[in-house]
Amino acid sequence: MSAHTHAPDDSHHGHGHGHAHGHGLAASARGRGQTLRVVLLLNAAFLAVEVVVGLLTNSLALLGDALHMGTDVAALLLALAAERISLSPGGPAHTFGYRRAPTLAAFGNALTMVALVLILAVEAIGRLDAPPAIPSTPVLVAGVVGLLVNLGSAALLHARAGHSHNMRGAMLHMLADALGSVGVIVSAVVIAATGWFMVDPIVTLAIGALILAATWPLLRDASRTLLQISPPSIDLTAVRASLMRRPDVACIEDLHAWELDAGYLVVTACVHVRCEDLAACETLRRSIHEELSHGFAAAHLTLELVIETDHPALPERPCSGGL
């Protein structure tokens, strides 16, 4: 009958690597914060212009775009705050710091966009029966300027987005506003050419549908991270199969993988091994650590080794082989 003993637990990369990695994450967060501040100023300035023109012209498409830009400003403030919070180490209870704050902000921004689209859809449907008259020239000018501001903002955010759910959320707001500006331009051109005011609510509904389609991937990905679902970037079946090909590995249980935030993969596993001595186990542990951290891109890794032995004085610990 086999029995078991434990090898020392191993948790992370080496101190030097973790220290450098932490500085890199902090620098990235600060860079994202600077970009968010620039984009925030651009959008806040144009928001004031768009609200004034929208009220003067009574354009739902323009007011809807202004309303969405208002949520953009709020979303950018939230994203900026989340990036700053993520740099805080937190207290003793915050063992991972506040690394998930940007993902939580992205999830909130995605939900806000869904709510905004529903509000505009209700208003647009109400205007289908009797759309109001809209002066096309000021609406067209505001739409063109808005498109330039939104595309410029989206380009700045895209350059810093990387794997960040938070920056993706902010960029998605900008792209959605760019779509809204396109809708405003289309409405203004059609009204100027034909006098058909019905185009305003119709374009609003069409843009809303496009925004919902664009929001879904962010909502899905942020939800996966918050619910600690294994990300698509790692196949746990492949991880298990790769480790089980090692002759010294007897069984694997408690294999888990999740993202602390976008792109930061955490993996834990209990591996039952057959080793002649602790030195051989340490060599095997290092080899498994190397495979998981580099072959499967685990940024934070915790391994428990259970050494199988026939020594009668040691208690038996069967391996369930489950997740």
Find the CATH number of the domain harbouring 293: 3.30.70.1350
Pair 292, 149 in one domain: no
Domain edge (last residue) among 205, 226, 247: 226
Pair 250, 298 in one domain: yes
Under the banding of pLDDT at 50, 70 and 90, the label for residue 17 is very low
Q: Which of 19-23, 115-119, 270-274 has the highest mean pLDDT?
A: 270-274
Range of the domain at 184: 26-226
Pair 84, 173 in one domain: yes
Q: What's the rounded mean pLDDT across residues 241-267?
A: 91
As given in the structure block, the two tokens for residue 154 are: 């989206």
Nearest CA among 214, 218, 209, 126 for reference residue 165: 218
Pair 63, 157 in one domain: yes
- Residue 5: pLDDT over 50: no
- Residue 259: pLDDT over 90: yes
CA distance 302 to 131: 62
| Residues 108, 172 contacting (CB under 8 angstroms) | no
pLDDT at 14: 40
Q: What is the pLDDT of residues 291-311, one digit of tens each?
A: 999 989 899 999 999 888 665
Q: What's the rounded mean pLDDT across residues 221-238?
A: 92
In a domain, 287, yes or no: yes
pLDDT at 18: 45
Pair 302, 170 in one domain: no
Rounded to two decimals, what is the model's pTM? 0.71
Q: What is the pLDDT of residues 42-77, one digit of tens each?
A: 888 888 887 887 788 777 766 766 776 777 788 788
Pair 73, 136 in one domain: yes
Pair 267, 127 in one domain: no
| Residues 68, 50 contacting (CB under 8 angstroms) | no
In a domain, 74, yes or no: yes
Q: What is the pLDDT of the chain when averaged over all its residues?
A: 81
Q: What is the pLDDT of residues 101-151, one digit of tens each?
A: 888 888 988 898 898 889 889 988 988 888 888 778 877 887 888 889 889
Give the CATH number, domain containing residue 206: 1.20.1510.10
Domain edge (last residue) among 226, 247, 267: 226
In a domain, 8, yes or no: no
Domain edge (last residue) among 178, 197, 226: 226
pLDDT at 312: 52
DSSP-based three-state secondary structure for 265: strand
Pair 39, 91 in one domain: yes
As given in the structure block, the two tokens for residue 215 are: 């929001």
As given in the structure block, the two tokens for residue 283 are: 């060599």
pLDDT at 277: 83
Pair 218, 101 in one domain: yes
In a domain, 2, yes or no: no
Please list the residues that pair with 302 across neighbouring strands. Answer: 268
As given in the structure block, the two tokens for residue 157 are: 């955010």
Q: By mean pLDDT, which of 104-108, 120-124, 172-176, 213-217 is the weakest?
A: 172-176
Pair 136, 284 in one domain: no
